[in-house]
Amino acid sequence: MTSKPRSSRKTTRSINPMWGGRFAAGPDRLMEKINASIAFDKRLYRQDITASKAHCAMLVGQKIIARKDGAAIAAGLDRVLEEIERDRFVFKTELEDIHLNVEARLAELIGPAAGRLHTARSRNDQVATDVRLWVRDAIDATDAALRDLQRALIEKAERHAATVMPGFTHLQPAQPVTLGHHFLAYVEMIGRDRGRFADARRRLNECPLGAAALAGTSFPIDRRRTAAALGFDRPAANSLDAVSDRDFALEFLSASAIAAVHLSRLAEELVLWCTPQFGFVGLPDSFTTGSSIMPQKKNPDAAELVRGKTGRVLGALLGLLTVIKGLPLTYSKDMQEDKEPVFDAADTIAIAIAAMTGMVSALTVDAARLRAAADVGFVTATDLADWLVRVLAMPFRKAHHVTGTLVRLAEERGVDLARLPLAEMQRVEPGITRDVFRVLTVERAVASRVSEGGTAPVRVRAACRRARRRFL
């Protein structure tokens, strides 16, 4: 005799009191497990209680519930908040989510008056509001962290405004730049990241409360009062959109993903620059680890982890896009899957930014090694070509060809361009004079890049001052 599948056995689980009289039996254990979100959405407790207090105050103001009941609800919610923050609150899986857990405890504390709190709202507009509030807080925290990283980069850029290094294309030496200029490139990237977060914040700052389940409510509520109390710019304009929209979460994840990619690029450079082959910078012991078998190792693990954690943030964005892509209006239980990727991405980007800020602040620079690397790879070749155009009025394409010939000649001689004899240069192009050697030193090449946004130290110092005004 075969046993029945577990899913067909009768359950003895209790009925969720919040579901009302529609259900005669409680959920199967498996249903309870897949349905419950309290394990992760309890992170919304502060936002949930804040929104509930605003909703309660509005109900009292509109004379939808009695002032006495409103006062009891508000006091009870404060008590629930205190219990949670002091780790004295018992979260119950059978109550599914943070909303029902808070409401059930409120009922234990103040009795039947707690049941009036849910007047003119649904868990649909409730959760949409809570998550918006949480994401808004996460954006503010992320922006502050990114500003700190910009500050660390600007301080390093000011210190190394004249520290010469090779600039790369294709990871091959290209033209000489300054380390300060290089750091300021990341300041600009992060500035765009902050702009994306700010844009997302502006768009999300509409309040879903009052949309109820999907169609609004017949109670004479004041949605503008609730929105203002919660710091929103306005109520969401359409009740269907209000409960089903998760664009704000996607935009947060998108901005986080791009920011994580920028952090990963900087992390990759730190990993390369810490190698003996580059030797441009060093990281302190506090941001490195050793090896269990090789005593000499000092691994840039913090940078590697920043680089690796980028995948989690990118995955969170793709995961939520996939959840949302096929959902009809309005709310579907699929949307429960919005929280974990948002929470994980926020946690991941926060620790990655903090780690990068710490590494940038603490890294040491080997200026001599950077300067020596700038002498490798004929990085002043473009300056030679520009000199031919400027002094000899040569078309650039011809100047490019002449310079390429001289580079090949210098390579064959085993010298850089500045040490190639003038007579040999003149055999390639008779018009070249001794004046050409003035542009072939790395320092002169860097100093000559005075165009706006260029790498000349005078430009870098001015850019640092502007960056402080723009971003800090």
The answer for residues whose C-beta is within 8 angstroms of residue 123's C-beta and 6 or more apart is 97, 99, 100
Q: Which of 3, 8, 170, 451 is catalytic?
A: 170
Please give the Cα distance from 225 to 220 (Å, whole number). 12
C-beta of residue 246 within 8 angstroms of C-beta of residue 338: yes
User: Residue type for 211, please?
Assistant: A
Cα angle 154, 373, 461 (rounded to 5 degrees) comes to: 25
Q: Which residue has the tokens 């090949």?
A: 408
Q: Is 264 exposed, middle or buried (0-12, 13-18, 19+ CB in 10 A)?
A: buried
| Closest C-alpha among 345, 356, 259 to residue 303 | 356
Q: Which of 37, 99, 262, 291 is catalytic?
A: 291
Please give the Cα distance from 46 to 133 (Å, whole number). 9
Q: Which residue has the tokens 């691994």?
A: 299
| Closest C-alpha among 181, 190, 200 to residue 145 | 190
Report the greatest alpha carbon distance in the chain. Answer: 102
For residue 320, give Cα distances in angstroms to 140, 182, 183, 219, 253.
21, 35, 33, 34, 9
| Closest C-alpha among 350, 357, 355, 348 to residue 149 | 357
Establish whether 291 is a catalytic residue: yes
Establish whether 170 is a catalytic residue: yes
| Encoded tokens for 354 | 């903090």
The answer for residues whose C-beta is within 8 angstroms of residue 206's C-beta and 6 or more apart is 132, 227, 232, 233, 234, 235, 236, 237, 242
| Encoded tokens for 433 | 């004079």
Kindly list the catalytic residues.
170, 291
